């Protein structure tokens, strides 16, 4: 909190976020808690926090367990199904507000394209970032897909990086929240002026 209290851009949003957090805690005390296994219910609970005039504009959610070095097939099948359930619950709870919602699903590091000896993958370079929601203008690939052809792999094992994750986040933050380019380059992602937003019109106006 001390990092943001003197920041004119973030101070108000910090106070608002703390108020929403308190509201969520109060709701959790008053209602039946959502099971961690009920991902549809979790998505709906998040959606309820975002609706109405006092709803949150931005919600961040962290999910672990994706570091699949062993037996990746079954693990990914379960986890991707859970992600689908969570987003479906969010969409249901948001109702008509889904049409103006953008969801970004990203990872902190990539995976190897080549499978290891224990039917998993190891830490790699590039990965997939997904942008979805009613606010997204079109489907398809963003950037230059390098393919998984053996001669296109980075260091003979990784998906080749072709786009900086910050470029996608910059597009979403600018078009969805109105954060200006100067703030994106110097404050949100310090010293990142060389990474421009991925393109104009990622989201609907």
pTM above 0.85, yes or no: no
One DSSP character per residue, 145-196 reads ---S-GGGSBTTTBPPP-S-HHHHHHHHHHHHH---HHHIIIIISTT-TTS-
Residue showing tokens 């005390």: 29
Residue 11 forms part of a structural domain: no
Average pLDDT, the chain: 87
Number of domains in the chain: 1
Residue 187 forms part of a structural domain: yes
Query: Rounded to whole angstroms, how far apart are CA atoms 158 and 37?
Result: 32
Q: Please tell me the predicted confidence (pLDDT) of residue 142.
A: 84
**Domain limits at 151?**
102-205
Report pLDDT digits (tens) over 47-99: 999 998 888 899 999 888 899 999 999 999 999 999 999 999 999 999 999 99
Report pLDDT digits (tens) over 11-60: 676 676 667 666 655 554 444 455 567 899 999 999 999 998 888 899 99
Residue showing tokens 């979805």: 132
Residue 8 forms part of a structural domain: no
């Amino acid at each position: 909190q001390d990092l943001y209290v003197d920041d004119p851009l973030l101070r108000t949003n910090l106070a608002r976020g703390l108020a929403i957090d308190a509201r969520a805690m109060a709701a959790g005390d008053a209602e039946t808690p959502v099971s961690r296994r009920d991902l549809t219910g979790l998505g709906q609970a998040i959606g309820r926090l975002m609706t109405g005039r006092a709803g949150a504009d931005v919600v961040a959610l962290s999910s672990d367990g994706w570091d699949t070095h062993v037996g990746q097939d079954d693990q990914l099948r379960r986890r991707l199904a859970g992600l689908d359930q969570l987003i479906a619950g969010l969409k249901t709870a948001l109702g008509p507000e889904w049409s103006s919602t953008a969801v970004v699903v990203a990872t902190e590091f990539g995976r190897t394209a080549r499978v290891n000896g224990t039917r998993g993958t190891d830490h790699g370079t590039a990965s997939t970032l997904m942008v979805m929601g009613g606010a997204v203008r079109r489907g398809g690939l963003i950037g230059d897909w390098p393919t998984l052809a053996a001669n296109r792999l980075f260091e003979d094992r990784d998906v080749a990086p072709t786009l900086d994750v910050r470029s996608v986040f910059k597009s979403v933050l600018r078009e969805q929240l109105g954060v200006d380019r100067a703030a994106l380059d110097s404050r949100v992602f310090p010293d990142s002026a060389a990474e421009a937003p991925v393109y104009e019109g990622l989201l609907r106006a």
